[in-house]
Chain A
Amino acid sequence: MATEHRTTADDDAGEADEQTRLPLGVSVAAAAVAAAVLLPVLWLIKTSLDVGFAEATALLTRPTTLEVLLNSAVLVVLTTTACVVIGVPLAYLTVRTDLPFRRFWTVVVSLPLVIPSYVGAFAFVSAFGPQGGFQRLLAPIGIERIPEIYGLEGTVLILTLYTYPYVYITARASLKSMDTTLIDAARTLEHDRWETFRRVTVPQIRPAVAAGALLSGLYVLADFGTPSIMRYDVFTRVIFVEFGTFGRDTATLLSLQLVAVTVFILWLESRVRGEERTTAGGRSRAVVSLGGWRYPAMGFAAAIAGLALVVPLVILLSWLGTASATVNQSLAFQWSYAANSVVIATAAAAVAVVAGLPVAYLSARYDGLLPTAFERISYVGYAVPGVVLGLALVFFGSQYATPIYQTLYLLVFAYVIRFLPQSVGSLRASFLSVDPALPEAARTLGQTSAGAFRYVTLPLVAPGLFGGAALVFLTTMKELPATLLLRPSGFTTLVTHIWTAYESGYFGQAAVPALVLLFVSGLSMLVILRQEGYDVK
Chain B
Amino acid sequence: MKEHNETSRTETPRTRRRFLQAAAAAGIVGVAGCNTPGGDGTDTETEADSGGDGTGGSAPEQIGSGRSPFGDRELSGVSMSEMPDLEGELTLYSGRGQALVGELVGFIEDRYPDLTIRPLYNTAAELVSQIQTEGQNSPVDVFYSVNAGALGALAQRDRTQELPQEVLEFVPQNFRAPDGHWIGTSGRARSIPYNTDTFSESDIPDSIIAFPETSAFDGELGWAPTYSSFQAFITAMRILEGDEATREWLAGMQELGVSQYGDEFQVARAVADGEISAGLTNHYYIQRVLARRGLGAPLRTTFTQNDAGAVFNVAGACVLDTAEDSTLAANFVRHLLSAEAQDYFARTTFEYPLVPEVEPIGRLPTIDELNPPEDIDLSQLADLEGTIDLLRETGVL
Contacts and interface: CB of A to CB of B under 8 A. Distances in A.
Interface of A: 116, 118, 121-123, 125-127, 129, 131-133, 136, 224-225, 227-229, 231, 233-234, 236-237, 240-246, 248, 251, 314-315, 318-319, 321-331, 385-387, 390-391, 394-395, 398-399, 402, 405-406, 480-481, 484-485, 487, 489-490, 498-509
19 contacts: A127-B18, A131-B14, A133-B15, A224-B35, A228-B26, A229-B25, A231-B38, A246-B125, A246-B153, A315-B15, A323-B1, A385-B33, A391-B133, A399-B135, A500-B98, A500-B99, A503-B46, A505-B28, A509-B99
B88 to A, nearest CB: 15
A234 B38 CA distance: 9
Q: Considering the complex of A and B, which 5 residue pairs feature the smallest CB-CB distances, nearest first?
A: A228-B37, A481-B33, A330-B102, A505-B49, A237-B37
Given A324-B54, A485-B126, A503 B31 contact: yes
Contacts of B49: 504-506
A131 B57 contact: no
Contacts of B150: 246
B135 to A, nearest CB: 7
Interface stretch (B169-177, B303-311, B353-361, B383-391): B383-391
Contacts of B385: 241-242, 244-245
Contact of A503 (B32, B36, B133): B32
Contacts of A314: 15
Interface in B43-72: 43-46, 48-57, 60
Contact of A324 (B1, B16, B26, B125): B1
B35 A228 contact: yes
B11 to A, nearest CB: 12
A244 B45 contact: no
A321 B27 CA distance: 23
Contacts of A126: 15-16, 18-19, 21-22
A113 B149 CA distance: 36
Nearest to B30: A225
A486 B33 CA distance: 13
A391 B130 CA distance: 6
B18 A485 contact: no
A74 to B, nearest CB: 16
Given A330-B102, A398-B134, A500-B121, A241 B40 contact: yes
A129 B137 CA distance: 46
B137 A481 contact: no
B133 A324 contact: no
B326 interface: no
Contact of B38 (A118, A237, A318, A489): A237
Interface residues of B, number: 78
Nearest to A386: B33
A490 B98 CA distance: 11
A13 B36 CA distance: 58
Given A244-B42, A331-B99, A508-B1, 15 more contacts: A118-B30, A125-B22, A224-B37, A228-B39, A241-B37, A243-B34, A244-B43, A246-B149, A318-B15, A322-B1, A325-B1, A326-B60, A327-B55, A398-B134, A398-B139
B118 interface: yes
B119 interface: yes
B150 to A, nearest CB: 7
A interface: dominant SS: helix
Contacts of B34: 240, 243-244, 387, 481
Interface string B1-24: 100000000000111101111110
A199 to B, nearest CB: 44
Contacts of B56: 324, 326-328, 331, 506
B76 interface: no
A314 B276 CA distance: 30
A507 B16 contact: yes
B100 interface: yes
Contacts of B43: 244
Contacts of B18: 125-127, 129, 131-133
B129 A227 contact: no
B40 to A, nearest CB: 7
Contacts of A118: 26, 30-31
A219 B119 CA distance: 31
A506 B19 CA distance: 12
B26 A225 contact: yes
B248 interface: no
A329 B134 contact: no
Nearest to A125: B22
A225 B45 CA distance: 17
A245 B231 CA distance: 13
B97 interface: yes
B102 A328 contact: yes
B349 to A, nearest CB: 10
A387 B33 contact: yes
Nearest to B10: A136
A146 to B, nearest CB: 13
A128 to B, nearest CB: 9
Nearest to A127: B15
B32 A481 contact: yes
- Name the residue in B91, B128, B134, B153 with the highest tally of chain A Cβ atoms < 10 Å from its Cβ: B134
B24 to A, nearest CB: 9
Contact of B52 (A224, A243, A505): A505
B382 interface: yes
Contact of A506 (B99, B129, B134): B99
B186 interface: no
Given A240-B34, A506-B54, A394 B130 contact: yes
Contacts of B29: 503
B254 interface: no
A321 B25 CA distance: 23
A236 to B, nearest CB: 7
Interface in B132-166: 132-135, 137-139, 149-150, 153
B106 to A, nearest CB: 7
A406 to B, nearest CB: 7
A331 B38 CA distance: 29
B102 to A, nearest CB: 4
A398 B133 contact: yes
Given A122-B26, A126-B19, A328-B102, A237 B133 contact: no
Nearest to B348: A328
Interface string B268-286: 0000000000000000000
Contacts of A501: 99
Nearest to B3: A322
B295 interface: no
A248 B129 contact: yes
A321 B4 CA distance: 10
A480 B18 CA distance: 24
Contacts of B22: 121-122, 125-126, 129, 229
Given A225-B33, A327-B56, A244 B128 contact: no
B31 A244 contact: no
A133 B14 CA distance: 6
Most A CB contacts (10 A, CB to CB) among B31, B44, B383, B385 go to B31
A122 B19 contact: yes
A240 to B, nearest CB: 5
B191 interface: no
Contacts of B39: 228-229, 231
Given A244-B125, A386-B33, A506-B49, A330 B1 contact: no
A489 B55 contact: no
B118 to A, nearest CB: 4
A330 B99 contact: yes
B287 interface: no
A373 B23 CA distance: 41
Contacts of A387: 33-34, 126, 129
B16 A395 contact: no
Contact of A243 (B48, B126, B134, B149): B126
